[in-house]
Structure 1
Amino acid sequence: MPTRETIFEYQIVGNFGRVNAIDVATGIEVSVSVPAGCAKVYREQLALRRLDRELASNSHIKK
């Protein structure tokens, strides 16, 4: 997939965290739960893969 602008938001509560990834062009947002201690690069990769799947599954929707 071509490079696109993505916004990441992080929330850590206790032993777990949540990462939101938002595609700027479409406004599609996904969330993933991760252990609080995992590396930032891993959190972003996981959220980006989920966003890729979501964008691919919504490619048939006409706006």
Structure 2
Amino acid sequence: MVELTRNGAYLKCSAVHVATGVEASAIGPVTERTGLERIAIAKLKRALASR
């Protein structure tokens, strides 16, 4: 699951693995939505691989 939260000029993208509850997030400018999603998902994959 990917969740986006906007706070002014910034966007927080949280990627959550529903089965385990592991979460990873990335924060950046609103204009970089796809990049933030890509980063958050990559961080989540690394977190799951280290478990």
* Range of TM-score over shorter length: 0.7 to 0.9
- TM-score, length basis structure 2: 0.81
Percent identity over paired residues: 33
Give the ranges of 4+ consecutive aligned residues of structure 1 lying more than 3 Å apart after TM superposition: none
CA RMSD across the alignment: 1.2
More strand by share: 2
What are the ranges of 5 or more consecutive residues in structure 2 without an aligned counterpart? none
Higher RCO by CA contacts (8 Å cutoff, separation 6 or greater): 2
Query: Which entry has the higher C-alpha Rg, 1 or 2?
Result: 1
- TM-score, length basis structure 1: 0.69
- Written as runs of structure 1 = structure 2, the 5 A alignment for 1:6-45 is 7-38=1-32, 40-45=33-38
Give the distance between the partners of 2:37 and 2:4, measured in 1 at CA. Answer: 10
Displacement of 1:8 in angstroms is 0.6
What are the ranges of 5 or more consecutive residues in structure 1 without an aligned counterpart? 1-6, 59-63
